Structure 1
Amino acid sequence: MIKVYNRRTKGYEVENVAGGKFLNALYGTVPGKMGLELLVKRKFYSYVSGVFCDSRKSAGLIKKFINSYNIDVSECQDEVGSFQTFNEFFIRKMKPHMRPYDNEPGKLLSPGDGRMYAWKDIEINKLVQVKGISYSLRDLLRDDSLASRYEGGILVILRLCPLDYHRFHFIDGGTCSKTVKIKGHYYSVNPAALRQVARLYCQNKREYSVFKSDNFGDVLYIEVGATSVGSIIQTYIPDQRVLRGDEKGYFKFGGSTLIMLLEKGAANIDDEILEQTEAGFETRVLAGEVIGSKK
């Protein structure tokens, strides 16, 4: 059972986990772990899943998915009937007013929908995966020089579930570098997997880029692939100026994770999110929601 903090109600909600029993068996039993290592973590499994979700045969899953996870389709920019494949629905766009990005320069905003952990004054060699398991930013990036720039800074981890809006955005105006891609496995990013697989983010497929923002310095974006994520799609143009709230990219089908790092002194994170992180709970946030402020 995964409990997530709701900022609006000041209470906790139990997450409706897609394939929860399957994930628990996969990561928590001996036969499941054998299947995980032999098949599920590998590219072929996620590739086949992605191909199906891009086919017209997958369209029949859309209504069932909406009903199972109580998705509010009134937020969608397009009518549900216009989607010809499951992935077309999965990467749906929102009506602009549903995910507004405030232009006030001092506000630090969430890059997407999901469940958020955040830490300040980080040690780059001891980033928290879950309690008792850590990893190194150097291992994650494979770039010691870049990693060292974020010592003492802020780490934000945004976990996207299959039922979430899967497009992610720029938190400020500025320019973004070319994406660096690192090959890897396709472990789930569900907490059940994070508790069982050491250095999971460092083992999975991932991409990163440096966003030179107007108000928060050089922000490091890292997108992590996961089981059944057919692709991480970057839609921005490198080194071309973007505005706050402009789309950076999207994940195709599957749960995914967006990691964001800010340099020391760039911002303050909302105390409520920090407190919930310290207590071991993720905080539910939406794209454009205020998560902190300029220091």
Structure 2
Amino acid sequence: MNSLEKKQITYGQRLKIAFQYAMPQIYLTQIAGWFANKRWGAVTHFVIKMFAKKYNVHMAEAAKPNFSDYVTFNEFFIRQLKEYARPINQNTDALCLPADGKISQCGHIDDELLLQAKGHSFSLRDLLAGDEELTRLFKDGEFVTTYLSPRDYHRVHMPCNGTIRKMIYVPGELFSVNPFLNTHIPNLLARNERVICLFDTDFGPMVQILVGATITASISTVWEGVINPPRTGDIRTWTYEGQSAVSLAKGQEMGAFQLGSTVINLFPKNAVKLADYLQVDTVTRVGEILAYKK
């Protein structure tokens, strides 16, 4: 953070940043995960109700719209939506948005640099945990970063038809990824815990990354289930071929967050053109246009 930025933020904001570095991230996350899975009846329903009120959660579009329908907080947090609540654009030359939320950043990957926030970039190589093959594939390509707020639907979907070829779990920090901290913590998205998924698609290779955050109790995919915990501190890699290479359809669910976070999509050079309307703070909904085939 440079001296000008320091002058522009308040003392309270500086404390928020300092707290992110000082707090016991893993223990808070473990406690949150333990609580979120508890079946406490009326207490659980009260907590869900208060959460929904605070964050203005739109329950009318949920498949189960009543708070009492959920046995645990996690069931509520990864609630499914009513059928057809998110129509999937059927243009075969278009890719669709993978998550509800807001665009944090999007645009061109400048050699190996992605924009995190105004004045802050981070390395493609760092984001991809040093994987040389993936770094070469997406160098000078395009990227889209989508932030999911607490009120949003937290299942993640496929932008297009794809077949999973590789998945990498990367241990890391658990900084909050809210817009303020994303602006003030350098390399945040390349430092946080994340699950990197490489797909073969009709648009070329595509990476979809699920980024963890403070109190993100777990990240799951539909083909492997819960990826974390456990949190062993080691990078883990899965490769898929033959019968193990699961294919998913455009708009199909591919993963979910139990609290959190951020989704990053990567596309190779000259593969897609991002939709013109996408810019910082654009509200996103699963199934709407993300990009077009070049």
Interval of TM-score (by shorter of Structure 1 and Structure 2): 0.7 to 0.9
Q: 1:68 aligns with which of 46, 54, 73?
A: 54
Cα deviation per residue 1:107-148 (whole Å; 9 max; x = unaligned)? 121011010145443224321111111110101112122112
Question: Which stretch shifts more, 66-75 or 87-96?
Answer: 66-75
Matched residue, 2:255? 249
Give the residue type in structure 2 aligned to 1:284. V
1:234 aligns with 2:189: no
Q: Does the CA contact (< 8 Å) of 2:125 and 2:135 recur in 1?
A: yes
Q: 1:37 aligns with which of 16, 21, 32?
A: 21
Instruction: Give the distance between the partners of 1:148 and 1:124, measured in 2 at CA.
Output: 10
Cα deviation per residue 1:46-102 (whole Å; 9 max; x = unaligned)? 111111111124332111222223322121112422101111100001112001223
Matched residue, 2:273? 268
1:26/1:211 Cα in 2 relative to 1: closer, same or farther (>3 Å)? Answer: farther
Matched residue, 1:193? 181
1:227/1:124 Cα in 2 relative to 1: closer, same or farther (>3 Å)? Answer: farther
1:112/1:34 Cα in 2 relative to 1: closer, same or farther (>3 Å)? Answer: closer
Give the residue type in structure 2 aligned to 1:249. G
Shift of 1:165: 0.2
Instruction: Give the distance between the partners of 1:34 and 1:73, measured in 2 at CA.
Output: 35
Structure 2, unpaired ranges of 5+? 1-8, 225-243
Count of paired positions: 262
Cα deviation per residue 1:28-50 (whole Å; 9 max; x = unaligned)? 234x445432324x211111111
Q: Does the CA contact (< 8 Å) of 1:160 and 1:257 recur in 2?
A: yes
Structure 1, unpaired ranges of 5+? 1-23
Instruction: Give the distance between the partners of 2:272 and 2:166, measured in 1 at CA.
Output: 24
Matched residue, 1:176? 164
Matched residue, 1:28? 13
Q: TM-score, normalised by structure 1?
A: 0.83
Q: 2:201 aligns with which of 198, 209, 213?
A: 213
Q: What percent of counterpart residues are identical? A: 33
Shift of 1:179: 2.0
Q: Does the CA contact (< 8 Å) of 1:26 and 1:33 recur in 2?
A: no
Instruction: Give the distance between the partners of 1:222 and 1:234, measured in 2 at CA.
Output: 11
Instruction: Give the distance between the partners of 1:26 and 1:96, measured in 2 at CA.
Output: 47
Instruction: Give the distance between the partners of 1:130 and 1:49, measured in 2 at CA.
Output: 28
Shift of 1:267: 1.2
Q: TM-score, normalised by structure 2?
A: 0.83
Give the residue type in structure 1 aligned to 2:91. E
Matched residue, 1:52? 35
Structure 1 residue matching 2:247: 3-state secondary structure: coil
Q: Does the CA contact (< 8 Å) of 2:105 and 2:116 recur in 1?
A: no
Structure 1 residue matching 2:287: 3-state secondary structure: coil
Give the residue type in structure 2 aligned to 1:71. V
Matches for 1:143-154 after TM superposition, within 5 Å: 143-154=131-142
Give the residue type in structure 2 aligned to 1:294. K
Give the residue type in structure 2 aligned to 1:247. E
Question: Which stretch shifts more, 54-63 or 157-166?
Answer: 54-63
